[in-house]
Amino acid sequence: MAGSDKIALAFSGGLDTSVAVPWLIENYDAEVECVVVDVGQGLEDLDGIEERARAAGAAGCHVVDVRDAFVEEFIWPTLRASAIYGRKYLLGTAMARPIIAREVVRVARQVGATGLSHGCTGKGNDQVRFELTFAWLAPDLDVIAPWREWDIRGRKDAEAYARRAGVPLPPARTSMYSRDRNVWHISHEGGPLEDPTTMPDQDMFLFSVDPRTAPPEGETVEIGFENGTPVSVNGERMSALALLERLNEIGGRHGVGRVDLVEDRIVGLKSRGVYETPGGTLLYAAHRELEQLVLDRRTLELKDEVAMRYARLVYEGRWWGTEKEALDALIDVTQRYVNGSISFFLCRGNLSVAGRSSSTGLYREEYATFESSSLYDHADATGFIRLFGLPYRLAGQARLEDVQETGAEPERAPDPGEMAGSDWLD
């Protein structure tokens, strides 16, 4: 690149990306345009960030608030897909990366940048997620990942480099943890958590109170859905972002939504993370509860399989492309019927179903009773079971013939009775 080149850098204001600015200028002889994408990191992170960018040497700093789009275009689809990674993780960091990377590309196009950069380390998931979005949206631009190129190996190296480059150090991070925060969740990694045998201290948690100290009287909350999308809390319609923030407050004050997980990173390593997702946990639980009420079993089974695939796709940063769009189209059809509301009683970390309501529900009290009706004649069950079990009867018959004819070990199938003693069929 020539000296007139520009590089768009995903900028967080932290030490890592503050150091990246002079390093990119020095090593790529380029102007650096910082892009700050607000997905709900919290005010303290964004305050004065433009000044920090310029102090680090950036030619420009572009702050974009995409919180609404983040909830509507990234979080809601993932929720509707019931996507969960590693059986527990609600994908808070994974969903944020494609939208941040998209905004970096958008700015890059506006300013005519020829390079894209980010501050992710070489051992984590986020580098993959950033660069897959870059590859999809801007295959013509160069990608520069300073952490995989430079010699800086830790906080001390970075501070030394900053001092040499005349970059003011950001307020010292006093935390032992590496954190990622947005409107959906906060994650905690590193430090004492790297030892999987230790339980996190209560003072690590930031989005939720200790369940033991939550209000003993609890609280009931009702969440309303239209076509699988959350639209109301306790009967009050509100915007996507406001709804999520409301549920974060409610869930958080009852200690709901903590997860402690050993997970498999994209790059082939296992790592341990702790997540707080109070509102998201309520939303996932409510959405699934409503689906159980309104979707037929085959559609539920299909959705369960799709959910695992969707979760891997989101986790691995493969947010764009045909597979994603195809899955979304499938899910959209299923969500036509996901209308109604679910109530939970929250108390000290516990979440109990307090009510289900849907006009499109397939559950009907009159069918559930054990009486016959025009829709269900008990006698039907006889024929059903006989044909449902026909392959069993055929195989059982073959097995029995073998036993009777040969007196020997049945060839057709092992005798399940043997599990509890071999002589009982005599």
Indicate which residues carry an active-site annotation: 16, 97, 126, 178
Which among 145, 167, 143 has a CA at the least distance from the CA of 15?
167
Q: Could you tell me which stretch among 33-41, 169-177, 226-234, 344-352 binds a copy of itself (CB under 8 A)?
A: 344-352
Tokens representing 416 are 């399940």
Q: Which of residues 249-268 bind a copy of itself (CB under 8 A)?
A: 255, 258, 260-264, 266-268
Q: Could you tell me which stretch among 35-43, 51-59, 98-106, 234-242 binds a copy of itself (CB under 8 A)?
A: 98-106
Q: Which of residues 22-51 bind a copy of itself (CB under 8 A)?
A: none
179 binds a copy of itself per the rule CB under 8 A: no
Q: Which of residues 147-166 bind a copy of itself (CB under 8 A)?
A: 147-148, 153-154
State which of residues 43, 151, 392, 407 lies at the interface with a copy of itself (CB under 8 A).
392
Which among 13, 86, 17 has a CA at the least distance from the CA of 44?
13
Smallest gap from residue 23 Cβ to a copy of itself (A): 15
State which of residues 113, 137, 162, 244 lies at the interface with a copy of itself (CB under 8 A).
137
Residue number, 49 or 293, with CB nearest to a copy of itself: 293
Report helix, strand or coil for 301.
helix
Ramachandran angles phi, psi of 217, nearest 5°:
-80, -15
362 binds a copy of itself per the rule CB under 8 A: yes
Residue number, 48 or 202, with CB nearest to a copy of itself: 202
Smallest gap from residue 192 Cβ to a copy of itself (A): 11
Q: Which of residues 182-221 bind a copy of itself (CB under 8 A)?
A: 190, 194-199, 211-212, 216, 218
Q: How far apart are CA 23 and CA 28, in angstroms?
A: 8
Residue number, 169 or 413, with CB nearest to a copy of itself: 413
Q: What is the DSSP string of 334-385?
A: HHTT--EEEEEEEETTEEEEEEEE-TT-S--HHHHSSS--SS--TTHHHHHH
Residue number, 168 or 269, with CB nearest to a copy of itself: 269
388 binds a copy of itself per the rule CB under 8 A: yes
Smallest gap from residue 125 Cβ to a copy of itself (A): 10
Smallest gap from residue 259 Cβ to a copy of itself (A): 9
298 binds a copy of itself per the rule CB under 8 A: yes
The residues that bridge with 7 in the sheet, in sequence order, are 32, 115
Q: How far is CA 306 from CA 62, 85, 184, 222, 309, in A?
A: 37, 12, 22, 27, 5
Ramachandran angles phi, psi of 42, nearest 5°:
110, 145
Report helix, strand or coil for 269.
coil
Q: How far apart are CA 82 and CA 358, in angstroms?
A: 19
377 binds a copy of itself per the rule CB under 8 A: yes
Q: How far apart are CA 291 and CA 286, in angstroms?
A: 9
